[in-house]
């Protein structure tokens, strides 16, 4: 598959939106690294250009402007990309609704979501789970202070995502998510 100028425009737009952000927990890692990693996973697992653009912009509505960002994504990149980003967002409201309610609603919507949404979402969750596992190995239990769901809520959320993606796909990413979440639960249980 050949990427076009639209991909370059999306990369620039993602940088404009997220260029000043850092990953959770006081990390010096630029947030754009997460977006690039999710995009790479999508492309490596057969994603289209629209899906790759959706991966670059998957947090724009939730974290960078709600309806305004949605409208701009639709205008610049089309309805398909906007639908992917909407499907990967757990809210566009500020202040955000309670954490557990948002996560339950997100999990509930995934089985009926289009394949494109599940592909980008699974890539996002896989990269996040890998980061959580790596950080847990480095800092241990203090990791959970970064997350609104804490230890129990975060583990519940990722185990629930494993169930959905194992059942509904994408089949190419689900086994790796299972492996990472299993390893995280094993490490947490050993401590």
Domain residue limits, the chain: 5-190
Has residue 66 got a pLDDT over 90?
no
Residue 137: which residues within 8 A CB-CB, separation 6 or more? 187
Answer yes or no: are the C-beta atoms of 81 and 92 closer than 8 Å. no
Residue 161: per-residue pLDDT? 98
pLDDT over 70 percentage in the chain? 98
Q: Please state, in angstroms and rounded to a whole number, the distance separating the CA atoms of residues 112 and 6.
A: 28
Has residue 120 got a pLDDT over 80?
yes
27-63 pLDDT, tens per residue? 788 999 999 999 999 999 999 999 999 999 999 988 7
Where is pLDDT greater, at 186 or 66?
A: 186
Question: In Å, how far from its chain's centre is CA 57?
Answer: 10
Answer yes or no: are the C-beta atoms of 57 and 85 closer than 8 Å. yes
- Which CATH class, in words, describes the domain spanning 5-190? mainly alpha
Q: Please state, in angstroms and rounded to a whole number, the distance separating the CA atoms of residues 154 and 189.
A: 14
């Amino acid at each position: 598959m050949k990427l076009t100028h639209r991909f370059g425009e999306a990369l620039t737009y993602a940088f404009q939106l997220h260029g000043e952000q850092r990953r959770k927990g006081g990390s010096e890692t630029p947030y754009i690294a997460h977006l690039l990693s999710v995009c790479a996973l999508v492309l490596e697992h057969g994603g289209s250009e629209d899906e790759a653009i959706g991966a670059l912009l998957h947090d724009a509505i939730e974290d960078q402007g709600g309806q305004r960002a949605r409208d701009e994504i639709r205008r610049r990149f089309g309805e398909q990309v906007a639908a992917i980003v909407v499907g990967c967002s757990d809210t566009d409201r500020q202040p955000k609704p309670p954490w557990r309610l948002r996560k339950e609603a997100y999990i509930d919507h995934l089985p009926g979501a289009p394949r494109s949404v599940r592909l980008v979402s699974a890539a996002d969750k896989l990269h996040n789970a890998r980061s959580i596992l790596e950080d847990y190995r480095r800092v241990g239990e203090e990791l959970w202070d970064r997350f609104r769901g804490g230890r129990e809520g975060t583990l519940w959320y990722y185990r629930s995502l494993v169930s959905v993606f194992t059942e509904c796909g994408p089949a190419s990413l689900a086994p790796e998510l299972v492996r990472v979440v299993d390893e995280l639960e094993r490490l947490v249980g050993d401590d």
